[in-house]
Homo-oligomer: A and B are copies of this chain.
């Protein structure tokens, strides 16, 4: 039984994580962290979890967390996350970090995109990126795992095997991404007010979204090519679900069937990636840890479609999958 703590327990990813962990036979949730002082009960913060777990949220020091938990899921904002995590690691906790703090290798790139100096630059580039489909071996037994961003998960799972197989051109890749509103977090904001985003569809942060360097870094290093993706996210009026439609110049003569075969070959033993020949929708994977992916050739382009649930495979499900890999539990435990 692994004793588990969740830091930043008020958000949507924490709620989703709790729902998964409460079904996990090898987990005991022992602490819930918050930076709020009043220490509300979990049932007040997440009414859906009433009667499931009798814990209050607490403002805990890293040392207190380390005393109570073997493994910490960090759902803190970037910057704040790395500060706490380096203390937790010193206290011999394992950590699965939902923030972006340990995903990028280069402190300069981090500072350029996140507008803060990284508080723990020496761990950058030495931390495994928690996408088991690409980095399973490095995740086994790791003390710290950087849980991937939601958009990067969907984009990388769709593109990486095709880049590796050299059937698409790494230059000029367009990733047109669409996400449900939970992807933007639980804090009320004018543009996330119900009547503003309901019955509305808006692009945002075109060319400026922080997931851009993360996608480029992983695609480039893993497939050993240089990419410079054009990344364009859109907000969709639904709770959850993320779909990326990616466009890349296809190697001359390559057919859609060949793209599918490449994907099928790569993912054939993966429990959570389903290569399909129909066009998948986000609802096919809602409330699951699956990523459904397909590809077509249209004219000179490969069109790749990839769907995930941003809260599960794009966050909390991936974290549990990483947890299972770290501790050598069956990888689907608590996830099916």
Residues of A within 8 A of B (CB): 12, 22-23, 47-48, 50-52, 172, 174, 176, 178, 180-182, 186-190, 192-204, 206-207, 228, 230, 232, 234, 236-241, 243, 245, 247, 249, 274, 276, 278-288, 290, 292, 296, 298-301, 303, 305, 307, 336
| B200:A197 contact, CB within 8 angstroms | no
| B283:A241 contact, CB within 8 angstroms | no
| Cβ distance A259 to chain B, nearest Cβ, rounded Å | 13
| B203:A243 contact, CB within 8 angstroms | yes
Q: Which residues of B contact A203 (CB under 8 A)?
A: 243, 245, 279, 305
| Cβ distance A175 to chain B, nearest Cβ, rounded Å | 10
Known: A194-B192, A276-B50. A206 touches B298 (CB 8 A): yes
Q: Which of A197, A234, A300 gathers the greatest number of chain B CB atoms within 10 Å?
A: A234
Could you tell me the distance between the alpha carbons of A300 and B228 in the complex, rounded to whole angstroms?
9
Could you tell me the distance between the alpha carbons of A282 and B235 in the complex, rounded to whole angstroms?
11
| Cβ distance A115 to chain B, nearest Cβ, rounded Å | 19
**Smallest CB gap from A303: residue in B:** B206
| Cβ distance A38 to chain B, nearest Cβ, rounded Å | 15
Q: Which residues of B contact A190 (CB under 8 A)?
A: 188
| A178:B178 contact, CB within 8 angstroms | yes
Could you tell me the distance between the alpha carbons of A197 and B52 in the complex, rounded to whole angstroms?
23
| A238:B186 contact, CB within 8 angstroms | no
